[in-house]
């Protein structure tokens, strides 16, 4: 843990008066709604492509539980990371470092939602899905946030597994088991996470350095980060074709996955070849990294959308 960040732990700004609406907004912000949208989407995709059916009420409940579970993990993450959030420009206005929510209250809120989401999912669907959701929350909070994030530049690689579990939860909610296909969906998001976050960290590394978070550009430099982004993108492109390769989806999906994977690698190649100084720092305001980051979000939405459409309409 870095000195600067560690010294900030426990020292919060005093609570400020706020209106009822802004207070509600702060509690919602603790759930990291933007991250939640991707989690809900991939969880829904896992649920929709799984063989079998689920009563609509139970399906909606399952998605609600995945969303609340992800939000709970986000709230506990914000409680633990309040010291580094306070020194990073991107996160300084979050409810805890800004002094609008007490840390202990955020922790209690997160734990309550985590327990509730796992129990309700178990009661509504099955305990395999509930166990995977519980493990996801544990992985994000303990393995990523508390253990890896401040210790290794590989934090995103291993910690990214937490974000890869939602389609497995969705699948397990319908089938009650975890087989090859949900494992492939897991692998796709797992390989997608490093280039997605490292593209962001190429232009946000100043924030991470200030907070003492050993993101790859901070520890190994921008040049190595560009190389890793390209390598993971080359790994990701064929992984996207696996659902078709194992016979789970048809040629329409394969075409979409090949196109999306090709564009992803091309964008990563542009990041690698961008005009840069000898340290790998961009001379073009990280335009290529920003384009890759934007496209990576589109990639995941489009890939899972194509898989869902292929299964629901063309299978």
Cα–Cα distance for residue pair 274/230, rounded to 1 Å:
12
For residue 124, the minimal CB distance to other proteins (Å) is 5
Let me know if 135 is exposed, middle or buried by CB neighbors in 10 A (0-12, 13-18, 19+): middle
Cα–Cα distance for residue pair 235/192, rounded to 1 Å:
9
Residue carrying the six token digits 């998001």: 189
Which of residues 125 and 249 has its CB atom nearest to other proteins in the complex? Answer: 125
Cα–Cα distance for residue pair 185/178, rounded to 1 Å:
11
Say if residues 242 and 300 touch (Cβ distance below 8 Å).
no
Taking Cα atoms as reference points, which of 89, 91, 116 lies closest to residue 29? 91
Which of residues 31 and 199 has its CB atom nearest to other proteins in the complex? Answer: 31
For residue 169, the minimal CB distance to other proteins (Å) is 17
Which of residues 21 and 313 has its CB atom nearest to other proteins in the complex? Answer: 21
Which of residues 86 and 98 has its CB atom nearest to other proteins in the complex? Answer: 98
| Residue 277, number of CB atoms within 10 A of its CB | 10
Cα–Cα distance for residue pair 30/14, rounded to 1 Å:
18
Q: How far is CA 60 from CA 16, 64, 113, in A?
A: 37, 6, 17
Q: Which residues bind other proteins (CB under 8 A)?
A: 17-18, 20, 23-24, 55-58, 61, 64, 116, 120, 123-124
CB-based contacts of 257, cutoff 8 Å, min separation 6: 240, 241, 243, 244, 303, 306
Which of residues 58 and 183 has its CB atom nearest to other proteins in the complex? Answer: 58
For residue 295, the minimal CB distance to other proteins (Å) is 38
Which of residues 23 and 224 has its CB atom nearest to other proteins in the complex? Answer: 23
For residue 27, the minimal CB distance to other proteins (Å) is 8
For residue 105, the minimal CB distance to other proteins (Å) is 10
Which of residues 18 and 154 has its CB atom nearest to other proteins in the complex? Answer: 18
For residue 23, the minimal CB distance to other proteins (Å) is 7
8-state DSSP, 62: H
For residue 175, the minimal CB distance to other proteins (Å) is 15
Say if residues 30 and 110 touch (Cβ distance below 8 Å).
yes
């Amino acid at each position: 843990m870095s000195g600067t960040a560690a010294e900030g732990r426990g020292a919060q700004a005093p609570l400020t008066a706020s209106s009822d609406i802004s207070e509600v907004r702060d509690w919602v912000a603790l759930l990291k709604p933007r991250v939640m949208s991707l989690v809900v989407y991939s969880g829904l995709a896992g649920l929709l492509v799984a063989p079998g059916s689920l009563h609509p009420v139970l399906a909606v409940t399952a998605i609600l539980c995945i969303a609340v579970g992800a939000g709970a993990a986000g709230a506990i993450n914000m409680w633990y990371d309040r010291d580094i959030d306070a020194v990073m420009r991107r996160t300084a206005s979050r409810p805890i470092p800004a002094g609008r929510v007490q840390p202990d209250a955020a922790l209690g809120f997160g734990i309550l939602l985590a327990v509730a989401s796992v129990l309700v999912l178990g009661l509504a669907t099955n305990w395999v899905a509930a166990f995977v959701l519980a493990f996801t929350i544990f992985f994000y909070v303990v393995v990523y946030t508390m253990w890896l994030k401040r210790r290794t530049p590989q934090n995103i690689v291993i910690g990214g597994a937490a974000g890869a579990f939602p389609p497995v939860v969705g699948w397990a909610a319908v089938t009650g088991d975890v087989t090859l296909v949900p494992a492939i969906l897991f692998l796709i998001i797992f390989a997608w996470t490093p280039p997605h976050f490292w593209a962001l960290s190429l232009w946000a590394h100043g924030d991470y350095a200030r907070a003492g978070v050993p993101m790859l550009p901070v520890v190994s430099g921008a040049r190595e980060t560009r190389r890793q982004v390209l390598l993971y993108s080359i790994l990701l492109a064929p992984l996207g074709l696996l659902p078709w390769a194992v016979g789970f989806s048809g040629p329409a999906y394969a075409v979409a996955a090949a196109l999306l994977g090709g564009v992803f690698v091309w964008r990563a190649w542009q990041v690698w070849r961008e005009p840069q100084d000898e340290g790998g720092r961009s001379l073009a305001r990280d335009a290529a990294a920003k384009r890759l980051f934007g496209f990576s979000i589109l990639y995941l939405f489009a890939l899972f959308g194509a898989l869902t459409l292929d299964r629901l309409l063309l299978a």
